[in-house]
Amino acid sequence: MNIRKVVLLGSLVAACLLLLTLQTRGYGSTARDFFAVVTMPIQTGLAKASRATFGLWDTYIDWKNVRAENRRLRAEVQGLRVGALRVTETDDENRRLRRLLALQENLPLTTLSGEIIAREWGGWIRSLTVNRGRGDNVPRLTAVISPNGLIGRVVDVRLGVSIVQVLTDPTSIVGAHVLRTRTPGIVEGDPRGTLRFKFMARDGASIQSGDMLVTAGQGGLFPRGIPIGTVRSIDNRGAALFHYADLTPAVDFARVDEVLLVTGDSQRDRDLTAFFTTGG
Amino acid sequence: MRTLLILTVAGGSVAHATLTPLVSIAGVTPDIPLIMVVLLALRRGPEFGCLTGFVTGLLQDAAGGGLIGVQAMTKAVIGFGIGVAGGRLRVSQPLVQVPGLVVLTIAEGLARFALLQVFRFPAPFGELMTYVVLPQALCNGFVGAAFVLALAWTQTLRDHFEGSRP
């Protein structure tokens, strides 16, 4: 073996032994300080580099996770929105049905509840189709009401369904009076889909905007005191015999879903105004 | 080339202390500087192996915070021994190198323990061997195999490109 190689090994081993001896004799800190000068900057640099690299990697992983989480949360939010809409819808329906049930229980009339299954809103005719018909013994001209007031009358009874003529139908006429002044008149529908109250000029001098109109109960068709609408504006025609008042219907016919059909009327003369939710 | 080698050896040794936790496998860390010393000693002979072992060991000691000189000495001796053996025995085969690495790691562990005992540094032998040296020896075997395969593949590629040159 080459003597040079052995010398090299021997000197390195000797150097190591010297270092170890120095350290055990209490000179370790000097040796460590010397090597720290060499190793510390490299270690610092490497630590920073590894931290930066892994930080970048962590950021990338976080970003990927955030994206996936974002997608999942979006789907969840969408699901929750649909769920919330269903809950709101069910809640609304529940409230409406409760009001209808309360009215049905309180009214001194025999009623049959029904659900609107179709609407004819063309202008020539304004009608609703209720899921009660001949099988339910619904008579023709039955009054149809909701917790807010009068909707109209049954004009056609078929197998399983009835057609309800809505108050705003151009051919609809209902005897009514102003609740506050007792001014009598006729509520007519018109082709624009609005309601108007036709009254004699001499009787209606004191009618004001906001006055409520209810059914007069004369003629035997509608019970007395069912809200029809409120006066929106008065069309003063000067010296004409009849004046008109535009009405805001008590019932939103486009949105009503559940109704009561008044099939029996044992207390015809009783005023029913108190049983309804006035003002909308 | 030599500068690059020195930088690799020196940087790798310091990096070992800094980056070791990141390359640990189930809490066991490979002694990459030792693998480097063995492979370099096999290729470049006892002098280079000895010097590489000394420098890497010294830097590992300094970076690790133990007694400076322990690993410098064991690795210098291992580098020298492998360099000498590489010229006389058939240790250039991968099938010899990998188990050899396992044996060398155990040998280095024993040498370190002996040195620590000489310099009155407390170290429990049984626990060190069971929980540190033997798992690290196995780990070095696997990592060494990967290194050997990578080197063989690089060599094949180099030969292929050099052979295709006009």
Please report, in tens digits, the pLDDT of each residue of chain A (280 residues total). Answer: 678 888 888 888 888 888 888 887 877 677 777 777 777 777 777 778 777 877 888 888 888 899 899 999 999 999 999 999 999 989 988 888 888 888 888 888 888 999 988 887 766 778 888 999 888 989 999 999 999 999 999 998 888 889 899 998 888 899 999 988 889 999 998 877 889 999 887 776 688 899 999 999 887 788 889 999 999 998 877 777 888 999 999 998 888 889 999 988 666 677 888 888 664 4
Evaluate whether A245 touches A205 at the Cβ level (below 8 Å): no
Beta bridge partners of A259: A114
Rounded to whole angstroms, the Cα distance separating A40 from A117 reads 84
* ipTM attached to this prediction: 0.77
What are the phi and psi torsion angles at B165 (to 5°)? -75, 145
Evaluate whether B70 touches B61 at the Cβ level (below 8 Å): yes
Beta bridge partners of A242: A200
Q: Do A50 and B17 touch (CB under 8 A)?
A: no
Q: Measured between CB atoms, does B94 come within 8 Å of chain A?
A: no
Q: Which of A255, A248, A245, A251 is nearest to A230 (CA)?
A: A248
CB contacts of B61 in chain A (<8 Å) are: 35
Question: What pLDDT, on the 0 to 100 scale, is given for residue A279?
Answer: 45
CA of A42 vs chain B CAs: smallest distance (Å): 7
Q: Do A23 and B17 touch (CB under 8 A)?
A: no
Rounded to whole angstroms, the Cα distance separating A253 from A267 reads 27
Q: Which of B54, B17, B35, B3 is nearest to A46 (CA)?
A: B17
CB contacts of B119 in chain A (<8 Å) are: 20-21, 23-24
Question: Which residues, at least 6 apart from A131, have a Cβ–Cβ distance to it below 8 Å?
Answer: A114, A115, A116, A117, A160, A161
Q: Which of A101, A145, A190, A9 is nearest to B78 (CA)?
A: A9
Rounded to whole angstroms, the Cα distance separating B149 from B39 reads 12
> Which residue type, as a one-letter code, is found at position A117?
I
Q: Do B18 and A23 touch (CB under 8 A)?
A: no
Chains A, B: CB contacts within 8 A come to 90
Evaluate whether A252 touches A193 at the Cβ level (below 8 Å): no
Q: Measured between CB atoms, does B113 come within 8 Å of chain A?
A: no
Q: Mutation test of the interface with chain B: which of A11, A12, A19, choosing the one with the most B Cβ atoms within 10 A? A: A12
Give mean pLDDT in consecutive 10-residue pieces for chain B, a chain of 166 residues. Answer: 61 61 71 85 86 85 76 90 79 72 87 83 77 85 82 83 70
